[in-house]
């Protein structure tokens, strides 16, 4: 079973509308759509924004639906000058950029007493997602690398520079590491798929409304291309 998580309704509405025989249930104030999409058994859900919502959602998918593969689809801010608005980032791993226990000697981003600082994505899923994007969205560029997540919408050039320096991430958003963290603890596979909607700097307020729909369309097209390959 494949779980597909989007933070916002806009990120999952198109997927839900194309599902066959969807059965709707609710847990933790989240509505889960279980059915068939692109020939695969899936559960599609809007988690809500932020890492806590995303992690709770991922845990429910594992516990209540027996999901063994998690796909997080949505939008993100670019942290790399090579990655333009509309381009796609596929996670190789994810990290909490707002976790800071350095006073205790931990590295920035390290959750204390955990055996890893970053949460690796499934390499096979990453490979498939890259191929799917190249087919579904040939007009844009595909990048693989680290996703940095935190409960902040990044619109400051100073904060962006600090995240890049500390984590060498390609993009920043607000859910992926929560899902990756849950996947790691539950020993299930995951991949984060993020279309770039802004540059995570002072231009964010101008770029975001204009490019959000385009970015979401790219991520939805990728997911629909990816599912039959899994």
Cβ-based neighbours of 3, under 8 Å, separated by 6 or more: 42, 43, 45, 58, 61, 62, 65, 67, 69, 70, 71
Round to the nearest angstrom and report the end-to-end CA distance of the chain.
10
Strand, helix or coil at 126? Answer: helix
11 alpha-carbon distance from chain centroid: 11
Which residue is catalytic, options 93, 175, 198, 212? 198
Contact (CB, 8 A) for 151 and 170? no
Cβ-based neighbours of 63, under 8 Å, separated by 6 or more: none
The yes-or-no answer on residue 151 being catalytic is no
The yes-or-no answer on residue 11 being catalytic is yes
Q: Which residues are catalytic?
A: 11, 198
């Amino acid at each position: 079973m494949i779980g597909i998580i989007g933070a916002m309704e806009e990120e999952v509405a198109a997927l839900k509308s194309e599902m066959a025989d969807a059965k709707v249930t609710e847990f933790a104030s989240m509505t889960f759509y279980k059915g068939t999409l692109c020939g695969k058994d899936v559960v599609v859900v809007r988690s809500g924004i932020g890492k806590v919502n995303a992690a709770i959602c991922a845990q429910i998918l594992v516990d209540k639906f027996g999901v063994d593969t998690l796909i997080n689809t949505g939008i993100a801010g670019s942290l790399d000058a090579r990655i333009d608005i509309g381009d796609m980032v596929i996670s190789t791993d994810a990290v909490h950029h707002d976790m800071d226990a350095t006073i205790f000697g931990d590295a920035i981003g390290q959750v204390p007493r955990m055996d890893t600082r970053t949460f690796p994505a499934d390499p096979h899923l990453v490979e498939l997602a890259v191929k799917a994007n190249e087919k579904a969205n040939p007009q844009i560029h595909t990048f693989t690398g680290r996703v940095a997540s935190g409960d902040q919408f990044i619109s400051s050039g100073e904060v962006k520079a600090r995240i890049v320096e500390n984590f060498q991430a390609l993009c920043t958003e607000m859910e992926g590491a929560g899902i990756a963290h849950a996947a790691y603890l539950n020993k299930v596979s995951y991949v984060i798929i993020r279309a770039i909607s802004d540059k995570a700097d002072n231009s964010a307020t101008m770029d975001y409304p204009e490019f959000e729909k385009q970015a979401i369309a790219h991520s939805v097209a990728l997911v629909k291309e990816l599912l039959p390959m899994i």
